[in-house]
Structures are given as C-alpha cells and as structure tokens.
Structure 1
Amino acid sequence: MTSNNSVRICNPDNVSGLKGNILRIEAPGINPFVNELCEISWGDDSLSFGRVIAFKRSEVVIQVYNGTLGVARNATVKFLGHAQKLTFSTESFGRVFSGGGVPLDGLPVLKGTSVDIGTPSVNPIKREMPSQFIETGIPMIDIFNSLVGSQKIPIFAAQGEPYNDLLLRISSMTSADVVVLGCMGMPPAEYDRITAEMQTSGASTKTIVFAHTTADPASECLMVPDMVLATAENFALKGKNVLVMLTDMTSYADALKARESDLEKIPAERGYPGNLYSQLARLYEKACDFVGEGVITIIGVSTMPDGDVTHPVPDNTGYITEGQFFLKDARIDPFRSLSRLKQQVNDDTRDDHRSLMNAMVQLYAEAQGAREKAAMGHDLTNRDNSLLEFASDFEVGLMDLSVSLSLNDALDTCWTILKHHFSREDVPIDRR
C-alpha cells in the first residue's frame, strides 16, 4: 500500500468546500495518496478524522468520518502519512467495534498488530480450489444449496424478511472457526437485539462484530466491509476457517450513492455510482481458500427495495457471486436459490445426499402443481393428496427457519418424510 511515512500539515484557511461528508482543501506541495488518513482540527478541542479519496493538482478531497457538520473553514488538516489501520488481535472474540474500529462495548481498546485494510484480493491462480463443506445447521442450505469454503454468496430478501435472524442462526451453528459480522445501516433497536441474542446464544465466543447504525455518520458505513475483511484475512492467514457475514450490502451501496452525490459525480442507474459493480466485486472477491492456510467464505445480505430483483444492488451482485439464497415468506425458496459450488462437496458428505436433494425438490415442485389444481377447484388424485401432505411436512420439518439440524439428521428427516407419504416406487430415486 502506498505510504508517505511523514506527517504534513496543511495551513488553516485553505478549506475550499464543505458538503455532506466531503471536505475540499487547497494543499499545494502536500503530495497526498488515496486512502491516506487525515486529522482535521479546529477551534480549541474539535477533532475529526478522514481519508483522502481523490486529488487533482493542489486540491485534495477528503471524506470526513464524522461528517463536516461544525467543521470550520479555518480548520487545520494534518496528513498522517499512512492509510487507516486495524488493530488485529486474537483477543477480539465477543467484541463489538464501530466502522472506524472504535470499541462500542465499553471494554478497553485492543492491543495487537496494526494491519492494513482495503488490501487487494488474492490472485485466483494462487488460491486452492473450493472443496470444504461449511455446515450451517440450516437444512435448506446444507442439503439443497450447500455452502462451500471460499464461496461468495448473497442472501436476496425483500425488506421485512428475517434475514438477520437467519444470519444469527448460522453464526450460532456454523462449523467455521471464526465468524466476522459487519452491520451496515442497521436501525439501533435491531443492532441492540442482534448483539444481545449473540450473547445469549453463545455465538459471541467465536464472533467479532463491526457495526454501523442509522444513527452513525454515513461515511463509517463504507469502512465496515474493509474492517471485517481485514480481520477475516488475518485470521485465515493463521489457518482459521472464517465465515464473513455482511448485512446490508444495499445500505453500503446507498452510502456509496450519497458520497458520489456529495462529490457531484454523474450517477448511473437509479442514482448509484457507475463503478458499483467494481465496488461490490472488490469486497466479494476477498473470499479465498489460501494455499496451505485458512479460508474466507462470504455471505452478504442484499435487500431488494419493493422486492425488485432487478434493483442495481442485487442485479450487480448476481454477476459477481456464486449463486444466491433467496429468502421469501421467511423461508429459503428452493426454486430461486442456488449454490453454484455445491457439486464440489455433495458427493463427499453422504452417499445419499445428491439423490435425496434432487428427489425432495422434484416432489415439492410437483406439490406446487397439486396446490394450483386444488386452488382452481379441480379433482385431486390420491397422488395429489400425498404430494400436498408431503409439502406441508417438508415446509414444517425442513424449510422453517427455526429448524436446526445437522446434515446427517436433516438427510434422515428427508427419508422419514418420504416414507410417511410415498411408497418406494413413487420416490424418484435410482437405487441401482
């Protein structure tokens, strides 16, 4: 990462513009670099921090973390000669930090190694092929859309769906060694609920949280993913299996949108920046199976305003990631969900995994046809009735998000449901 390694001070009265979270100054001879950390001071005790996001000739554009409200035009800007750092420590489990890395839990500041954030992703030719099954305890993931180490996959959900509850369930049951949760644009009440439930569920013993709420400056929202991913990468380099969970990536994109507006840049579709795809890909591409070391797997929530899957955030995300979990009516929809890497592990979990997965989905699809017949008043056959009863048991026993089962127990549950409703000949499983 670029570094000047020296502190340079821009004299007062050089502020040329203030808008939103953006501070513009004339700084001849400073020679800044992008992402350089800055200290902004004015008056007697007022102090804030920011980072360089652009410069042209002598003008430097700084994103102020706490916003520019109250910043005086005679502010002094100190360029610190290095980018934002993260204090990495193996003692960070159970801790909660802001987007800037400041403790939010009332506990002391961490002591550890200072590491860079926002570093480039690993070259694909230097990565291991995905091959590790990540168990979540959620049957609709483990059986039908298996999560694989180093996979990057979103949860697509309309606003109001229990996507954060799904993340909480995964964090408490996953086989991963470390969970790093990034919260962006979260209502304070939801943040309080999630952190409290993580404590009571025991998930906090292997979880680290970086949180930005709607009460915090928007610029901090943009820092959360980089803080999360830097933490994850350093644990992975120590051989750990790390699961990253980001919620909500649409809030992150909205913060990008607001920053681009403050910079008075020409927007693209629906006001989002033209580089939205690149900004999202930069984060998701940090998913990696490091050769001889650990693994980073990423699950990112992308809420869909009005349930619109063509919204720029889920639309761009779909081109970057390896499938999606589609949350609808508080269930993971088996027809709209897909894990493009599940074939990497399905043959190594249990011999009957793949055949059971296919049979259950096929029968559930047939059951939807039987439901349509019933809704239109058509006569139902005995098989139709069996399919309807099967679908009901399938939804209660496997699709309900409150169901927690190991993969073996979930597969056994599949057999139990099938035996209860169908004869051996009626189940589409080849037993040769």
Structure 2
Amino acid sequence: MKKIFDKITRIAGNVATVKAKGVGYEDLAVITTAFGPSLAQVIRLDHDEVSLQIFAGTEGISNGDRVHFLGHPMQVLFTDAMFGRVFNGSGKPRDKRPGIESVKVEIGSPAVNPVKRRRPNKMIHTGIPMIDVFNTLVESQKLPIFSVAGEPYNELLGRVGLQADADIIVLGGMGLRHDDYLKLRRLFEESGVLGKTIMFIHTAADPVVECLMVPDLCLAVGEQFALRGKRVLTLLTDMTAFADSLKEIAVTMEQVPSNRGYPGDLYTQMARRYEKAVDFDNAGSMTVLACVTMPGDDVTHPIPDNTGYITEGQIYLRNHRIEPFGSLSRLKQLVNGKTRDDHRAIMDACIQLYAQCDDSREKKEMGFEMTPWDQKLLKYGNIFEQQITDLSVNVPLFDALDRCWEILAQCFEPEETGIRQAVYQKHWPREISAAASSDHVTDHQGLQ
C-alpha cells in the first residue's frame, strides 16, 4: 500500500525534505507536481524527517506537492530482451525504442557470502599483450584502470569489451560526454558485439542521482545473468564521476566532509560496488573492470587511494600506453602458470630488462658513456615499446609470448636474459638468433 504525505519542509539543490513515517532507506517515491510526476529516492532518515534525492531536480516542486512512497528500493528489468539496448540511470530506455515489460530485481543487494564464492582460476583473454602477458585479467577480479584526463581510457575499456572472451558485456557510463557515449555505442555496433551487450549510460547533462544508480543497475543485471551460468564482464567508466556525485549530494545534505570534501563513507560506497565481482560456485562469474581518472595524476587522491585498497591491483594508463611498472594484477599468479610453461619466465624477464633499459636511458640523458650492454638494452626497449606496450597492438596470448621471445632473440644472447636454461632451450627462436648474429658480424666488419 502506498504511503502519501504532503508536508515538504525544505528544498535544497536536488534534495527535498518531507515529514513522513514508516519509510525505508533507499525507498522510491513519486512527487506529484503541477508539471507531472517526478521520481525520487530516500537518501537519509532522521526520525520523521525524510530526505529525498529527486532524479530530475527540484525545479517545479513546491511545498504543497504530494509525495507517494512506493515501499521498495530501485528496481531494474531483467530479461534477454535487454541485449543490444541502451538505458539511462533510471533504467528507462535511452535508445528511443519501445519499453520492455519483464520481471524486476532490486538493485544494491549485499555482496555474495565468501563461503559461496569459488577461488578465481580462469583467465579472461583480451588480445592486449600488456594485460594478457603482464597483468592478466582473471574471472571474478575487480581491476581498475588508473588514468588522467586525455588518456584513451574509454577506448581501452571498449577494446577489452570487444575482445574479451566473455558471454555478456554490461557497460555502465557515468558522467560521459555525449560524444564519448556515441563513440562507445558506435564501437560496439560496428564490431558486432552489441547483441551480447547491455548499456546503462549517464551523461554529464543528466541528473546527479542517476550517476549513482548506474553501477548498481549494471551489477544487479550482471549478477542475475551470472547466476544463470554466464561469464559476465562489467565495464564501468568513470568511477571518479560516481565519487564526485557522492560528494555533491553530501554537500547538499550538509554532511561533515572528510578528505578533500568527500564523504566519510567513500570507501564503503565504492567497496559495495567493487565487491559484487564474484565467481559463483556451480554458476557463472562477474568480473568488474572500472576506469578511475586521477585528478592531477595524483594517486594519493581519495578516489584512487580508496580504490587501491579495495581492488586486486590496477592498470596505469600513461602516455597512451599501459605503464609496465605501476600496473599490477594481484591474481595473475592464479592463472598465468596454467597458460603456457614459459608465461611467467617471459613475463619476469621482459620487465626486468625493460627496467634496466630505463636505467640506460637515464645514463644516456646524463651524458655517460654507453657500454655494449647499454646499447642492447636501448635497442630492446625501443622494440618492446613498439611491438608490445603500444596500445594499438592486438595479438592473442600465445602469439604475444612468441613475439616476446623474438624480441629477446633480436637483442640478447639466451644466457643474458636471466631465463632458466630448460625454458629458453625449448622456446628460443633459433632462426632469429642466427640472423641477429649475422647482422652483428656484418656491423662489426663495416666498423673495421
């Protein structure tokens, strides 16, 4: 039975306060105004004072308007008819196509009991070497992409969605510019994967509260499909917009601010979403890959700082490439030993040599004399960046591993790589080694 009240005592920003009883936290309400109904949600309870976040803003709302409480939190449709569709932060169609009638599920449910979770043990192939080889994405992992404004983080997220071996893609956009939304939608349409994709999009022009709803809508739908046995990949961009929306509402509610003005429960609010990543026992899985833009490239900012404590690693996107040293997948050791026997060895060797290349570059910039070993490292670093770390590179995992061996063979002798003899004897590309030796002899004779 609907509860109806008409004592709106305060209107501030997009928040209205009404005197009411018997109302639950996060319950939905409909405010009947002279311009039509307006949807709202309970965001604070203080005895009989109920604060409502109004989706479309408070314009046109007056103190005498009637408030109908629906008695349940936000719900979202769940049906196969959602594939290929685009919805807004209220769960309504954004693609100007007819609405869908189906069963609804509540959003914002608790994370799955750890006892019911299965230990992650399956890799998600993305076709991006810096992820597949060096920062392996694992089913049920929660992994953020740390970036700064101007980096192609949405493009990277879109490529993962297109190339990942997942059954279902759920894309949640928060605070997107309209052209960014259109680019992502066009990318999925032209690549032929829109048929297995569901989008919930909030643009910068949409109400703030809808931004807060997008992750919950995505995760609620993804969780239901995972319970059906599907491998779901949830892509979220940008969690910084989500946190900024929390901050805006906290300011309106006159809450005591915490670090840099963000609410004190920022960690809890973000963890509630990230912890929905799960590998169900006897069912499917849900993996969460989220973009986090760092204001001023400051990793100590509250948003990336809190994110780092919740998630299982991070991918750093800098200078239009995935940073080899700051990036980390804490679950990669659970799967990359099962992919191919040389995966871990080639991963460790390539990164160690690239770190030494950085030292050699620094020596060169400071005017120190370059040794033959430095020259090898510099050559290796240039080839490694062009053929592996560049974001335009698209190769399957095994081809990427073979390519790493070929790069090593072009620059080093097997014994110089630090790889165990039993491993390099099995995988070292002999024909490239012979060609490299021939080039070395020719260069030496030319110098004489």
TM more than 0.5:
yes
Does residue 305 (structure 1) correspond to residue 256 (structure 2)? The answer is: no
| Deviation (angstroms), 1:80 | 1.0
What are the equivalent positions in structure 2 for 1:30-41 lying under 5 Å apart? 30-41=21-32
Q: In the TM superposition, what whole-angstrom CA distance separates every residue of 1:35-60 from its partner, at most 9, and x where no partner exists?
A: 111011111x4211011122222211
* Alignment of structure 1 residues 138-149 onto 2, 5 Å: 138-149=128-139
How many equivalent pairs are there? 422
The 8 Å contact of residues 67 and 219 in structure 1, kept in 2 or not, is answered as no
The Cα of 1:126 is off from its aligned counterpart by: 1.5
User: How far apart, CA to CA, are the structure 2 residues paired with 1:383 and 1:93?
Assistant: 55
Distance 2:234 2:87 in 1: 15
- For 1:430, the equivalent position in structure 2 comes to 420
Deviation at 1:405, TM superposition (A): 0.9
Greater shift after overlay, 96-105 or 68-77?
68-77
Query: Which whole-Å CA distance do the structure 2 matches of 1:311 and 1:266 have between them?
Result: 19
Q: Are 2:41 and 1:51 equivalent residues in the alignment?
A: yes
Q: What secondary structure does 1:23 align onto? A: strand
Tell me the CA shift for residue 383 of structure 1.
1.8
Match of residue 15 from structure 2: 22
The one-letter code of the counterpart of 2:209 is S
Return the offset for 1:246.
0.8
Residue type at the aligned position of 1:388: L
Q: Does 1:137 align with 2:106?
A: no
Tell me, what secondary structure is at the counterpart of 2:80?
Answer: coil
Which residue matches 2:4?
Answer: 9
**Stretches (4+) displaced over 3 A:** none
**TM-score when normalising by structure 1:** 0.96
Q: Quote the offset at 1:113 in angstroms.
A: 1.9
**Which whole-Å deviations, capped at 9, do the CAs of 1:249-289 have from their partners, x for residues lacking one?**
11100000000111111110110000000000000000101
2:381 to 391, 396, 406: 391
Q: 1:371 aligns with which of 354, 361, 379?
A: 361
Counterpart contact for 2:33–2:60, Cα < 8 Å: no
Secondary structure of 1:150 counterpart: coil
Question: Partners of 2:142 and 2:290 in 1: how far apart?
Answer: 8
1:200 aligns with 2:193: no
Q: Distance in 2 between matches of 1:59 and 1:378?
A: 71
Stretches of structure 2 lacking an aligned partner (at least 5 in a row): 423-448
Match of 1:33, as an amino acid?
G
CA distance in 1, matches of 2:167, 2:201: 21
Q: Choose the corresponding residue for 1:166, options 156, 165, 169.
A: 156
Q: Within 2, Cα distance between the matches of 1:34 and 1:288? A: 26
Q: Deviations over 1:346-380 (max 9, x none)?
A: 11101110000001001111111111111112221
Identity over the aligned pairs, expressed in percent?
48
When Rg is computed on C-alpha atoms for both structures, the one with the higher figure is 2
Q: Tell me the distance in 1 between the aligned counterparts of 2:382 and 2:8.
A: 65
Among 216, 229, 243, the residue aligned to 1:253: 243
TM-score between both structures, scaled by the size of structure 2: 0.93
1:109 and 2:103 correspond: no
Taking only aligned residues, the RMSD between alpha carbons, in angstroms, comes to: 1.0
The CA distance in 2 between the partners of 1:57 and 1:158, in whole Å, is: 43
CA distance in 2, matches of 1:177, 1:203: 10
Measured against aligned partners, the alpha-carbon deviations of 1:154-180 in whole angstroms (never above 9, x if no partner) come to: 111111111001001101100111111
State whether residues 123 and 136 of structure 2, in contact with CA within 8 Å, keep that contact through their aligned partners in structure 1.
yes
Aligned equivalent of 1:91, options 52, 68, 81: 81
SS in 2 for 1:286: coil
1:70 equivalent in structure 2: 60
Identify which of 303, 327, 343 aligns with 2:333. 343
Which stretch shows the higher mean deviation, 370-379 or 233-242? 370-379
Q: Distance in 2 between matches of 1:192 and 1:284?
A: 26
Please give the alpha-carbon distance, in whole angstroms, between the structure 1 residues aligned to 2:100 and 2:139.
Answer: 29
By how many angstroms is 1:431 displaced?
2.2
Looking at structure 2, the residues matched to 50 and 392 of structure 1 have their Cα atoms a distance apart, in angstroms, of: 55
Partner in structure 2 of residue 278 of structure 1: 268
Letter in 2 for 1:22: V
